[in-house]
Amino acid sequence: MQLKNARILLTGGSLGIGKATAALLKEAGARVVITARHGDRLKKVAEAIAAFPIVADAGDPADVERTFSEALDHLGGLDCLINNAGVGTFGEMQDVTVDDFERIFRVNVFGAALMAARAAAIFRKQGTGGHIVNIGSTAGLKGFPGGTVYAASKFALRGMTECWQTELRKHDIRVVLVNPSEVATAFGRDGKEREPAPNKLSTTEIAHAIKSVLEMDDRGMVPELSIWATNPW
């Protein structure tokens, strides 16, 4: 994929991996639309990296439709969707509630599915192929204590990704799953970024991984990429 002038829509773009990825893609010459729920923070990031902001909840079907309407008005089409928006909750299995599942799955699973379906329809209509990058987690590869809800949502995203790959390859639409392990971000910290740690992954490293996958020539694809800290302990 040629990133210069590529039309990219990225959810969860106001913090962490999304923010770093949007900035890197802008540096490469892409036209980038970023979304997030918190308008003030989103607009500051958009101004800093010259991206186009859309205040929206990726887990709200009405917001999903509005997101694509505004993005298409701005971009004139679409070449890539990056499903980065995600939320999490953690606790022992006996403490998990239905509300926990509904809140996390609404964004991590249902929202990602709605966004991907809408993007795939646009790609097929354009007839020029396209790219969908789902940001998963190594929590979707192996469970861990306290991870019942979050890991389940990432296992679900991994399963959906594999299904979409089989459905969309014949339309030259590449669907990629990127699984970061622990990254020093604001995830689970109410928007407060963590300090970088020498033994943890950085958002920039994940952004470079996403960019490298996208830059592969369109004749090939990377179905899944997992990025682990060498020695996180």
Q: Hey, which residues are catalytic here? A: 150
- 66, exposed or middle or buried, with CB in 10 Å at 0-12, 13-18, 19+? middle
The answer to whether the CB of 80 falls within 8 A of the CB of 131 is: yes
Amino acid at 218: D
Spatial neighbors of 35 by CB under 8 A, at least 6 apart, are 9, 10, 11, 12, 13, 42, 53, 54, 55, 56, 58, 67, 85
The answer to whether the CB of 175 falls within 8 A of the CB of 5 is: no
Q: Which structure tokens are listed for 33?
A: 């639309």
Distance CA 174, CA 139 (A): 23
Q: Among residues 50, 7, 60, which one has the least CA distance to residue 27?
A: 50
Spatial neighbors of 90 by CB under 8 A, at least 6 apart, are 146, 147, 149, 150, 188
Please provide residue 202's backbone torsions phi and psi, each rounded to the nearest 5 degrees. -105, 160
